Amino acid sequence: MTRYCLTVTCPSTRGIVAAISAFLADRGCNITDSSQFDDMETGNFFMRVSCTSETGTDLATLQAEFAGIAERFGMAFAFHDEAWKMKVVIMVSRFGHCLNDLLYRWRIGALPIDIVAVISNHMDYQKVVVNHDIPFHCIRVTKENKPRAEAQIMAVVEETGAELIVLARYMQILSDEMCRKMSGRIINIHHSFLPSFKGANPYKQAFERGVKLIGATAHYVTAELDEGPIIEQDIVRITHAQSAEDYVSLGRDTEAQVLARAIHAHAHHRSFLNGNKTVVFPASPGSYSSERMG
């Protein structure tokens, strides 16, 4: 049986869940997992429903026939085939821990993504990327060529049909235009527990302040540097005896895990933009399973 996922955002009102449930049941779909959130502050309603099609109703039919309910409730909605792997472009500079982690997770099927290209402003990771049979693009960026470089990046995105850009420690600031064009479709990993210790060397700042917890933050990219809606965060405990270099080493593992979890949430359509924040629903049963163990 085919598994589908329905995502819904709309103003909160009575009868939404009943209408969705009745619609799916009438078309031979059995709900296997469901999450919802009613934001009392904004008046927005969010829902994600996983279901199986037991009578062969296809995606196009569900999408078309749901339009009436969507219009009635003012919904933004989409049906997704859960077998589909989201096309992703990864961008990286000279820190490779997140890239290598994502390549491993992709190789064993732990993330529902298809890495269609890796873009870097350096050549450091060309060999490892090409060895995974993934196209590698070195696009160098300077103050003088930045508009042209971003046009090249967007050409790769459009040619590959990428639905998501992942900044896996890509150390270049994207233009406001690119951030707006790809709104909600660029995820960055920041090597700090935002909103504290922003900028180029947050671990040094944390070391100088004697913090006892360091962390990492994955967020959607906006024109405001490191201010985008947060998807995932985590921390690691440290002590007074550890050096600034220790902070960096300990932080790497946290960064890789946080970024992978954020991509998992986005690719499974569990992450919803909610103004300056996000709504991130729990993972469906079985969604963390891998195609192979090694």
| Separation of alpha carbons 169 and 5, rounded Å | 31
Q: Which residue is catalytic, options 226, 234, 246, 253?
A: 226
The pair of structure tokens assigned to 261 is 């979890």
Is 120 exposed, middle or buried, given 0-12, 13-18 or 19+ CB atoms closer than 10 A? Answer: buried
Measured in degrees and rounded to the nearest 5, phi and psi for residue 72 equal -60, -40
Closest by CA to 82, choosing from 24, 22, 134, 32, is: 32
d(CA 275, CA 264) in angstroms, rounded, equals 21
58 among known catalytic residues: no
Whether residue 61 contacts residue 18, with contact meaning beta carbons closer than 8 Å, is answered with no
* Nearest of 44, 47, 39 to residue 17 by alpha carbon: 47
Secondary structure class of 55 (helix, strand, coil): coil
Of 239, 223, 240, 222, the residue nearest 231 (C-alpha): 222
Helix axes 97-107, 244-267, angle to 10 degrees: 40
Active site positions, annotated? 226
